[in-house]
Amino acid sequence: MLLRPDHPEQPLDPRAVWGRSGPWIVEIGFGDGRFTAELAREHPDWNVLAIDVSAGSLARAIGRLVAARISNVRLFHGPAEFALRQLVPAAGLRRVYVNFPDPWPKERHVGNRLLRAEFLAQLATRLEPRGEIWLTTDHDEYWDFALAAARETGLYSIDERDAPPEVLATKYALKWKDAGRAYHHAVFTKTAEAREPWPVFERVPMPHALMEGELAELVDFEKEVLTIDGGSVVLLDVLRPLDGRGFVWLAHVEEHGIVQQVLLEARPTPRGWHVGLANFAAPIATDGVQAAVGWLVAWLEARGLRVRQRWYRSVAWTVKRKDSGPIAAATGPEEDVSSSRST
Ligand SMILES: C[S@@+](CC[C@H](N)C(=O)[O-])C[C@H]1O[C@@H](n2cnc3c(N)ncnc32)[C@H](O)[C@@H]1O
């Protein structure tokens, strides 16, 4: 039922995932999954992909769907921006439900809203001709914001309707019903093709390097923030495994709507220091991850290690430091270095 971010086939083939073709429906932000379960039960012929960033939501929804023996739902734990871009082929979707999206009411957080014009234009690439987005919200400002965003794209017609009963039976809808709150509902129908494609991220081999030399004990570490094209990499801290073999760095990588927490390592091996991603979780080798490894190699070079071989494409990054203004001079390598693969 659970799709992993490193699913071997990207975008997905619905015949492989559901064992059949059929209308492909997405729900963004499934919350406790009660709407998902109801939708799947009402429409057994639909292939439903339900997406949520919250681990708590995922746990609740899995429990509910398993208990109800529902077999036509697949769940994805992570941001919708990533799932739609990476897992859904162009023109794959019949309909997308967005029930009570997080409103992000503060002015400085408006950029976090899901249904911004940029995302609506990207989502249009994944909708069939005349594919639909069904939006329901109780938040007046979000409502105005989303409608303005849909109009701005020029890709949708907007049909404001009374909310159908099923979208008023979600956990959020029920929570506010007694408070007498008003609901807004609209169907955005795709009427034109997006001008820009939204290509899936190219998957590249895991970046790493082999280094040699003595590494002195690390006694302190200051958080580093790298700026990369379309995002940032934050090196949060460095940790030492209990067996004392090497070091592990905690990194937060954010780029073009993908957010990843990754562990980098410098681990001694008989052939030298392995510098790259630790064997943990399921990171995707994006430009941001390559920049993080490139930064770590440069950081270790500055502490006396020498590169024997590296297997990554160099990605430009710039270090942001408080003490030297917004952008300090340190920059990542500009040219590709040896990318030969060892045996
Ligand atoms: C206000 S709740 C509504 C939940 C549910 N639809 C309901 O009506 O009860 C918003 C949900 O969207 C999820 N969410 C927020 N941003 C998201 C994103 N970028 N991708 C996927 N899910 C997201 C949250 O974790 C949360 O479960």
User: Taking 70 as the threshold, does the pLDDT of residue 326 lie above it?
Assistant: no
Please report the pLDDT score of residue 323 as a whole number: 60
d(CA 277, CA 296): 10
Which residues partner with 331 through β-bridges?
A: 318
What CA dihedral angle connects 16, 18, 20 and 25, to 10 degrees? -120
Q: How far is the CA of 250 from the centre of ligand 1 (A)?
A: 26
Q: How far is the CA of 173 from the centre of ligand 1 (A)?
A: 13
* Closest residue to atom 18 of ligand 1, CA basis: 79
What integer is the mean pLDDT of 165-174?
Answer: 89
User: Taking 60 as the threshold, does the pLDDT of residue 28 lie above it?
Assistant: yes
Give residue 217's pLDDT band: very low, low, confident or very high (50, 70, 90): confident
User: Taking 80 as the threshold, does the pLDDT of residue 210 lie above it?
Assistant: yes
List pLDDT tens digits, range 42-70: 999 999 999 999 999 999 999 999 999 99
**Contact at 8 Å (CB) between 258 and 78?**
no
Please report the pLDDT score of residue 329 as a whole number: 40
Q: How far is the CA of 56 from the centre of ligand 1 (A)?
A: 11
**Of 340 and 219, the one with more pLDDT:** 219
What integer is the mean pLDDT of 213-240?
Answer: 91
Our answer to whether residue 6 is catalytic in this structure is no
**Of 334 and 12, the one with more pLDDT:** 12
Please report the pLDDT score of residue 178 as a whole number: 76
Fold of 2-190: Rossmann fold (3.40.50)
Give residue 327's pLDDT band: very low, low, confident or very high (50, 70, 90): very low
- Give the whole-number percent of the chain exceeding pLDDT 90: 71
Q: Which of 102, 140, 159, 336 is catalytic?
A: 102
Please report the pLDDT score of residue 314 as a whole number: 82
For the chain, give every residue range classified as CATH 3.40.50.150.
2-190
**Which numbered atom of ligand 1 lies nearest the CA of 29?**
12
User: Taking 80 as the threshold, does the pLDDT of residue 221 lie above it?
Assistant: yes
Ligand 1 pocket: which of 3, 35, 54, 116 to mutate (most atoms within 8 A of CB)? 54
Give residue 181's pLDDT band: very low, low, confident or very high (50, 70, 90): confident
Please report the pLDDT score of residue 335 as a whole number: 41
User: Taking 90 as the threshold, does the pLDDT of residue 321 lie above it?
Assistant: no
Give residue 273's pLDDT band: very low, low, confident or very high (50, 70, 90): very high
User: Taking 70 as the threshold, does the pLDDT of residue 302 lie above it?
Assistant: yes
The Cα-based distances of 275 to 120, 210, 211, 217, 340 in angstroms read 39, 6, 7, 16, 16
**Which numbered atom of ligand 1 lies nearest the CA of 99?**
6
Please report the pLDDT score of residue 91 as a whole number: 97
Which has the minimum average pLDDT: 16-30, 109-123, 155-169, 196-210?
196-210
User: Taking 60 as the threshold, does the pLDDT of residue 132 lie above it?
Assistant: yes
What integer is the mean pLDDT of 3-8?
Answer: 84
User: Taking 80 as the threshold, does the pLDDT of residue 237 lie above it?
Assistant: yes
Task: Kindly report the three-state secondary structure assignment for every residue of the chain.
Answer: CEECCCCCCCCCCHHHHCCCCCCEEEEECCCCCHHHHHHHHHCCCCEEEEEECCHHHHHHHHHHHHHCCCCCEEEEECCHHHHHHHHCCCCCEEEEEEECCCCCCCHHHHHHCCCCHHHHHHHHHHEEEEEEEEEEECCHHHHHHHHHHHHHHCCEEEEEECCCHHHHHCHHHHHHHCCCCCCEEEEEEECCCCCCCCCCCCCCCCCEEEEECCCCCCCCCCCEEEEECCEEEEEEEEECCCCCCCEEEEEEEEECCEEEEEEEEEEEECCEEEEEECCCCCCCCCHHHHHHHHHHHHHHHCCCCEEEEEECCCCCCEEECCECECCCCCECCCCCCCCCCCC
Q: How far is the CA of 164 from the centre of ligand 1 (A)?
A: 19
What integer is the mean pLDDT of 83-111?
Answer: 95
User: Taking 50 as the threshold, does the pLDDT of residue 101 lie above it?
Assistant: yes
Please report the pLDDT score of residue 341 as a whole number: 33
**Which numbered atom of ligand 1 lies nearest the CA of 114?**
19
d(CA 227, CA 64): 41
User: Taking 70 as the threshold, does the pLDDT of residue 121 lie above it?
Assistant: yes
User: Taking 80 as the threshold, does the pLDDT of residue 322 lie above it?
Assistant: no
Please report the pLDDT score of residue 328 as a whole number: 45
Give residue 336's pLDDT band: very low, low, confident or very high (50, 70, 90): very low
Angle at which helices 55-67 and 34-42 cross, to 10°: 40
Tell me which residues have their CB closer than 6 angstroms to ligand 1: 28-29, 31, 51-54, 57, 79-81, 99-102, 114, 170-173
Closest CA to 17 of 111, 121, 88, 108: 88
Q: How far is the CA of 82 from the centre of ligand 1 (A)?
A: 14
**Contact at 8 Å (CB) between 255 and 230?**
yes
User: Taking 80 as the threshold, does the pLDDT of residue 334 lie above it?
Assistant: no
Those residues whose C-beta lies under 8 Å from the C-beta of residue 8, and which sit 6 or more positions away, are none
